[in-house]
Amino acid sequence: MLRRLYHYFANRDGATVMEFALVGPILVLLLMGALEFGLLLWATAVLDTATASGARLGKIGFNQSFISTEMDRLSAGLLDPARLSIQESSYSSFSSLQGGGAGASGTGSGGDAVVYTVTYPWPIFTPLLQHILPNTQGNYIITVTTAVRNEPFTP
């Protein structure tokens, strides 16, 4: 009887399947999380580059549409420009910007300091990450801010 029980528990047929059944879902979740995080970093880098390029054009008098155009070009169409939110605040100088007060809306005039704040709701594809990240409602809000001083131009 003990010999039969020993042979039953010593049998290793199917052990690999059981081990993979325990480890497989965790491995898939880690791979999906790494892919999701990589895409999030990529989207943040695209928005950062597009905001910097648009701010460079904005400081010589162009309007904010260049940020969404640049984002669409850099992302090869993978980010939706319609979901992009751009806020511009102008200040008379960088020292008034440091005071924390609210600036005037818009790009200001020549010599003003302008803060561009770009937000994009990045959709989270992995369902478990939607529950792990707080207050996301399925989207992670990417926020990029850059400040520039306008060149002396007349609006």
Residue ranges per structural domain of the chain:
2-149
Percent of the chain topping pLDDT 70 = 83
Grouping H, G, I as helix, E, B as strand and the rest as coil, residue 140 is strand
Q: In the predicted model, what is the mean pLDDT of the chain?
A: 81
pLDDT of residue 82: 87
64-89 pLDDT, tens digit each = 677 777 777 888 878 888 888 888 88
Other C-beta atoms closer than 10 Å to the C-beta of 78 total 11
Is it the case that residue 10 has pLDDT exceeding 70?
A: no
Grouping H, G, I as helix, E, B as strand and the rest as coil, residue 155 is coil
pLDDT of residue 5: 64
20-53 pLDDT, tens digit each = 889 999 999 889 989 988 999 999 999 998 888 8
pLDDT of residue 100: 66
Asked whether 43 and 142 are in contact (CB, 8 A), the reply is yes
pLDDT of residue 31: 92
Query: The pTM is what?
Result: 0.76
Separation between Cα atoms, residue 115 and residue 92, nearest integer Å: 11
DSSP per residue over 20-74, as a string? HHHHHHHHHHHHHHHHHHHHHHHHHHHHHHHHHHHHHHHTTT--THHHHHHHHHH
